[in-house]
């Protein structure tokens, strides 16, 4: 409802943008649909901090709904998808009533409005600043050349391609394009989705568990012990509402309840749901016992974080679970309740008798299977260890990076005795593998405390990037506090030794043709991890020392992706200063969000050095000429342009 009965509305209009506007007597806008979004965002429709998209609940039994909105963080704003519990939870704190399962980019240290917008070319992102001149992409369409900064200022013009961004009932944010010819028919065609794995969406199964099929695209739901499916949909609801509600009468009556284990299952929960987190639980079963003895507990989750056990004690199960081979979920149910998820209470004395008769053969059969599985597991582990030792002593294979132990790298680098160089991310040492293959081993310094799982995930991302102008990642080490990367060894070292005159290398400066080829190939390598990778990477430290040359003087960019380990939270926004003086883009100084353009600026400085043969900051010159770009600009104004001395 527009609620404009007293606004003196005299006319209405439907704009080409899809904005429906009610006009008052003074021809001013009394109400417009763009300021009251539902579940759809149209091109050039601003989604401000005070607005949100909300989905329609799948069924009355579900009650919960999804929203897309700006979340206020302590020092920033972030665009996020959240699952909101039904209205019956309105009296609860906001942190308990919703759960954010898809975080978009963070926006911090900016002035002016912050607005999410879908532009006319099909790109979705956030614009900010006094003149909306700052932009961060969430999704960029290949055909978008104007940028998000123009989207919010465009007028009511007819678009050549119709698009809409919808927050669907299943909690996914999806972009659709209208296609006039799809197998002879006209229909909406999906172009992009925020979440690729449906089980990463909280509440998709109510408080049940989401399971993926073999294709990893279709989800099914299973209910937890003590719950059942409500109505004819997949939504699971609680049957035992009194569990976890303590008073003086049932505080210690643990005999009324028992624990049901749900193997290979983890759970989404808010901070408000946490009663305690124990890191000293020695076994899996003890985590279930901890919940059984806690009056408020309804469930507990056991798992490993970097080989360290954890046990979360929870007071509520609201946001749903998902498959996780390394975790176990323990659910508290009534002692007389079925352990089978979703089962109804039924039976008779005759049924109980039959059940007791079946217990003995079932227990014997399970014991035999457990013993058999233990033998198979021992055989499998022994075989994997033998295979691992064989791989570590064999030549490097193409594909995923090889895992090395810290002791292996100590031996293969002669205790890190041969230093090749140092940089912003750490020191590099020369090493040799068992077959004689030379490698360069980088020890990362001041690395953020990532867990081993997160570190290996990033290493695999870098290792999957293959381009002739990028240094190949051969292996890695993640052991305790040690984080090391093993790269291919390049014979001719870094570019700075070949373009800057020095006493050691004065007779082997590169000719013009080689310099030109190096500049072009380096640009191709940078463009690859900027635009052609699924996960966009900002290098943050483009300089001659990070351009390595092989025996044929083919350049290869090194250290790409390492900014992720050093404090970067998003591939398109960097908030901590990283890089080398002289190559830092102005954005670093102005404390503005960093994009791939910062690397372009650094490459420009590198290009000047390749052409001129001198450092961009050289303190051996006087105060007027020590900054090379300034000196080059001054010289370019004169009729004489000095040439570098090339061999």
Residue 165 CA to its chain's centroid (Å): 21
- Among residues 158, 162, 163, 185, which one has the least CA distance to residue 174? 163
How confident is the model at residue 388, as a pLDDT?
53
Please check whether the domain covering 393-489 is classified as CATH 3.30.200.20: yes
Does 594 score more than 80 pLDDT? no
Q: Are 566 and 448 in contact (CB under 8 A)?
A: yes
Render pLDDT for 19-29 as a digit per residue (tens, 0 to 9): 888 888 777 88
Element (H, E) at 211: strand 209-212
Q: Please report how many Cα atoms fall inside a 13 Å half-sphere around the Cα of residue 597, on the Cβ side.
A: 11
Cα 320 to Cα 200: distance, rounded to the nearest angstrom: 10
What is the fold, at CATH topology level, of the domain defined by 200-343?
Hepatocyte Growth Factor (3.50.4)
How would you class 100 by CB atoms within 10 Å of its CB: exposed for 0-12, middle for 13-18, buried for 19 or more? middle
What does the mean pLDDT of the chain come to? Answer: 78
pLDDT digits (tens, 9 = 90+) for 329-350: 999 988 876 655 443 333 333 4
Spatial contact of 96 and 553, defined as CB atoms under 8 Å apart: no
pLDDT at 30: 84
Per-domain residue ranges for the chain? 37-171, 200-343, 393-489, 493-647
Q: Are strands 113-118 and 124-129 parallel, antiparallel or unpaired?
A: antiparallel
Q: Which residue is catalytic, options 541, 559, 622, 625? A: 541
Average pLDDT over residues 299-304: 91
Does this chain's domain 200-343 share its CATH topology with 393-489?
no
pLDDT tens per residue across span 541-585: 888 888 999 989 999 998 776 655 444 344 444 445 556 777 888
The secondary structure of the chain in percent helix, strand, coil, rounded to multiples of 5, reads 25, 30, 45
Q: What is the pLDDT of residue 349?
A: 39
Span 82-106, average pLDDT: 69
Strand, coil or helix: 364:
helix
Q: What pLDDT does residue 338 have?
A: 60
- Phi/psi at 337 (5° precision): -95, 150
The SS3 call for residue 361 is helix
In degrees, rounded to 5, the angle at the alpha carbon of residue 244 between the alpha carbons of residues 240 and 247 is 115
Q: How far apart are CA 236 and CA 341, in angstroms?
A: 10
Grade residue 97 by pLDDT with cuts at 50, 70 and 90. low
pLDDT at 239: 47
**Using an 8 Å Cβ cutoff, are 208 and 221 in contact?**
yes
- Do residues 525 and 469 lie in contact, with contact meaning Cβ atoms separated by under 8 Å? yes
Under a CB-based contact definition with an 8 Å cutoff, are residues 428 and 562 in contact? Answer: no
Annotated binding site for ATP: 443
CATH of 493-647 given 1.25.50.10, 3.20.20.70, 1.10.490.10, 1.10.510.10 = 1.10.510.10
Say if residue 466's pLDDT is above 60.
yes
* 41-90 confidence digits (pLDDT tens): 998 888 988 899 998 876 655 556 889 988 877 777 888 888 888 754 44
Is pLDDT of 356 > 80? no
Cβ-contact 68, 167 below 8 angstroms: yes
CA distance linking residue 579 with residue 585, whole number of Å: 9
User: Is 599 noted as a catalytic residue in this protein?
Assistant: no
- H or E segment and range at residue 322: strand 321-334
Under 8 Å between Cβ of 478 and 458: no
Q: Which of the residue ranges 288-302, 488-502, 527-541 has the most confident prediction, judged by mean pLDDT?
A: 288-302
SS3 102: strand
């Amino acid at each position: 409802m527009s609620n404009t009965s007293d606004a003196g509305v005299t006319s209405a209009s439907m704009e080409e943008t899809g904005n429906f506007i009610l006009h008052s007597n003074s021809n001013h806008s009394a109400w417009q649909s763009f300021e009251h979004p539902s579940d759809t965002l149209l091109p050039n429709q601003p989604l401000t901090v005070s607005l949100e998209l909300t989905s329609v609940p799948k069924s009355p039994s579900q009650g919960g709904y999804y929203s897309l909105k700006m979340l206020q963080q302590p020092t920033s704003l972030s665009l996020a998808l959240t699952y909101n519990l039904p209205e019956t939870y309105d009296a609860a704190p906001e942190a308990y009533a919703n759960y954010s399962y898809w975080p978009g980019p963070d926006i911090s240290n900016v002035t002016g409005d912050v607005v999410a917008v879908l532009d006319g070319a099909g790109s979705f992102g956030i614009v900010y600043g006094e003149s909306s001149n700052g932009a961060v992409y969430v999704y960029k369409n290949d055909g978008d050349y104007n940028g998000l900064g123009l989207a919010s200022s465009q007028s009511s013009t007819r678009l050549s391609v119709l698009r809409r961004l919808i927050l669907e009932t299943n909690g996914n944010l999806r972009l659709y394009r209208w296609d006039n010819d799809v197998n002879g028919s006209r229909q909406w065609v999906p172009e992009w989705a925020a979440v690729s794995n449906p089980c990463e969406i909280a509440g998709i199964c109510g408080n049940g568990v989401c399971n993926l099929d073999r294709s990893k695209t279709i989800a099914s739901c299973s209910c937890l012990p003590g719950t059942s499916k409500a109505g004819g949909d997949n939504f699971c609801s609680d049957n035992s509402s009194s569990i976890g509600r303590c008073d003086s009468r049932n505080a210690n009556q643990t005999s009324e309840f028992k624990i049901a284990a749900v193997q290979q299952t983890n759970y989404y929960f808010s901070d408000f749901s946490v009663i305690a987190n124990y890191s000293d639980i020695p076994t899996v079963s003890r985590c279930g016992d901890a919940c059984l003895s806690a009056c408020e507990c309804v469930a507990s989750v056991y798992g490993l974080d970097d080989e360290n056990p954890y046990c979360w004690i929870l007071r509520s199960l609201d946001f749903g679970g998902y498959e996780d081979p390394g975790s176990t979920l323990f659910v508290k149910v009534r002692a007389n309740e079925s352990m089978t998820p979703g089962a109804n209470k039924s039976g008779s004395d005759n049924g109980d008798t039959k059940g007791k008769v079946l217990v003995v053969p079932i227990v014997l059969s399970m014991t035999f299977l457990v013993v058999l599985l233990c033998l198979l597991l021992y055989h499998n582990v022994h075989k994997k260890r033998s295979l691992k030792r064989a791989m570590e002593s064999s030549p490097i294979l193409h594909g995923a990076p090889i895992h090395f132990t810290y002791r292996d790298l100590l031996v293969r680098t002669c205790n890190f005795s041969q230093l090749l160089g140092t940089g912003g991310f750490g020191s590099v040492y020369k090493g040799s593998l068992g077959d004689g293959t030379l490698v360069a081993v980088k020890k990362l310094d001041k690395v953020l405390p990532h867990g081993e799982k997160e570190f290996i995930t990033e290493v695999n991302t870098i290792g999957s990037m293959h381009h002739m102008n990028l240094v190949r990642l051969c292996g890695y080490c993640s052991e305790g506090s040690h984080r090391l990367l093993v790269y291919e060894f390049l014979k001719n070292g870094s570019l700075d030794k070949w373009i800057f005159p020095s006493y050691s290398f004065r007779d082997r400066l590169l000719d013009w043709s080689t310099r030109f080829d190096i500049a072009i190939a380096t640009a191709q390598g940078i463009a690859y991890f900027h635009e052609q990778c699924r996960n966009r990477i900002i290098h943050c430290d483009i300089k001659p020392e990070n351009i390595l040359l092989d025996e044929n003087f083919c350049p290869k960019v090194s250290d790409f992706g390492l900014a992720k380990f050093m404090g970067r939270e998003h591939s398109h926004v960097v908030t901590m200063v990283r890089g080398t003086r002289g190559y830092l883009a102005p954005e670093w100084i102005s404390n503005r969000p960093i994009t791939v353009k910062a690397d372009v600026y650094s490459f420009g400085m590198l290009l000047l050095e390749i052409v001129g043969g001198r450092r961009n900051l050289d303190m051996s010159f006087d105060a007027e000429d020590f900054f090379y770009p300034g000196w080059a600009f001054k010289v370019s104004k004169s009729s004489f342009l000095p040439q570098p001395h090339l061999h």
